[in-house]
Every structure is written in C-alpha cells, then in structure tokens.
Amino acid sequence: MFFGKKRLSSGRSFSLADASREVRRIAEAEALPLAHIAQGAADGPELWFAASIIDVAKVEGVHRNEAEHRAIDRKELAGHELDKQISAIYPPGMAAPALTDLRVSRRELKRYLRWLRTVA
C-alpha cells in the first residue's frame, strides 16, 4: 500500500517510530501545514508526529507486566512521556516504562493521514 510515493512494508502494523518518520516525510512532501508546526517542535518533528498519532489514531503497546499488545487508553496517559526513540511511554518520575513496543495499524495510519490532510 502506498501512503505517499514510498511503499511501506507489507505488514499489518508499523512501529510508532517508523510511522512517525513516514508521516513526517509525507507531510513535508505535500507541504502540509502541520509539517511546519512539527519542524518547530522542541523535541523534533518525528516525536511531535508520534505524539500526534497517539492523540488521533488508535495505537497499541505492551503494558507493563503483560505480554500481549492492547490499545492504549489516552486517558491513562495524562502526564506520561514518550521517550526520544519513540519506543516507550514512561509515567511521570518513573524509570520503568508503562508501555513498550508501540505500534499503529496500517488502517489507523491511513486514517491519521486522511485527518492530517484536512488540517489547515
């Protein structure tokens, strides 16, 4: 499936880090307004897009002490921080992550990109 001019892997889901890099590439290539905003983000555009994807799309992760992926409840994330590698979410003041192996499905990524293209 093509999300822009580049084909992503044929898997059913992507790491949040890969998804945010691809979204950044597409947003910049299409000169979308949020690409400019993301460029000015203190932590960089890929981290900004990753946080945006979490806010808009359904993202899954492995919760602490669990083995299976499950949807992230955005309400639970108040005050939590996404690490710079876009691989885990940490509770405030904690060294151990609350969520790891963050993933977004192909379907949700397409939905996010549709939304991104409507933001003026």
* Mean pLDDT calculated for residue range 41-57: 95
Confidence (pTM): 0.85
Q: Determine the pLDDT at residue 5.
A: 40
Q: Determine the pLDDT at residue 76.
A: 77
DSSP labels for 53-111? HHHHS-EEEEETT--SEEE--GGGGTT-EE-TTSSEEE-TT-SS-SEEEEEEEHHHHHH
- Three-state secondary structure call for residue 70: strand
* Mean pLDDT calculated for residue range 15-26: 97
